[in-house]
Amino acid sequence: MQVLIVAHQNDAVAFRLRQELECRGAMVHYYNGPSAARLFTIHVGSHSTSVAPSLPMFVRPSAWCQQPADHADEQFLRAEAYATFWAAAALSPSLVINRPWPDGSVGRLTWGKLTAVLDSHPAGSDSEIYVSGREIFKADDSTWGEDWEFHVSRIAQFKSGTPLRARKVSPGTLYEIVTVVSERGFPATADPRTVEFQLVERSVALAEKAGVYFASITWAVDENGAAPVRLNPAPQQFELRYNWHQVADALCEGLM
């Protein structure tokens, strides 16, 4: 069985999955994005489109992490490679984790975007706020924010003029991370509230609605219940460390 992993060479999750696949007898091809794009040929006919080769793929955003292009020609070639890979991954009949859609790949979704995906707003919850700087509004210690580099802190601790995404956080809030692989979910903890609030089932449903096969979903749990605050379609090692073996088994099962 051949499997294609498309990721940066230093992507720890992709590297660990490669080891898991090879231990199970798979022949793994590991490329970054531009190199992977050169593998594919896309045939467009009057009634059908085909992609060759057709291999199961595990795709990570890190595949396109490179140094800035030095010349316009290089930037153009990178854009062409990205477009080719996007088309090949979207049209391939084989399993692609996570497959890009016609309007692009699903990125990291936070509280506000998840509310839109679910078309609902949890009772008693506060809205997510987007501002051009912390000085725009008054915030107490219960308001936490995140900047464009994903640094998280209390609003007052950010520099003025830093664009932020913020929401109020209760001091008693606890968090659960559920990793979804297709129709299966793997919680990071054994907290009984994970079962009580049906976080595994809700995570699987949320991932399906967001259009992702593999993702980690972080839930904020307090006295009012549980609400999703983050969906990451490219989970990092720290999100998978408590259930890696279960997650790896599920990923390998799908890819092989």
- pLDDT, tens digit, for every residue of 118-161? 665 554 445 677 778 777 766 666 677 777 777 777 777 788 88
- The span from the CA of 122 to the CA of 117, in Å, is 13
pLDDT at res. 145: 75
Q: How far is CA 27 from the centre of its chain?
A: 25
pLDDT tens sequence across 89-101: 999 999 999 898 8
User: Class of 2-97 per CATH?
Assistant: alpha beta
3-state DSSP call for residue 110? Answer: strand
**pLDDT per residue over 213-229, tens digit each?**
999 999 988 887 888 88
Where in the chain do CATH 3.30.470.20 domains reside?
A: 109-122+172-239
Q: What is the mean pLDDT of the chain?
A: 87
Residue 178 has pLDDT above 70, yes or no: yes
* pLDDT number for residue 103: 80
Secondary structure (3-state) at 188: coil
Domain 109-122+172-239: give its CATH superfamily: ATP-grasp fold, B domain (3.30.470.20)
Q: Is the Cβ–Cβ distance between 22 and 1 less than 8 Å?
A: no
Q: Which of 146, 156, 149 is nearest to 110 (CA)?
A: 146
CATH 3.40.50 positions along the chain are 2-97
pLDDT at 121: 54
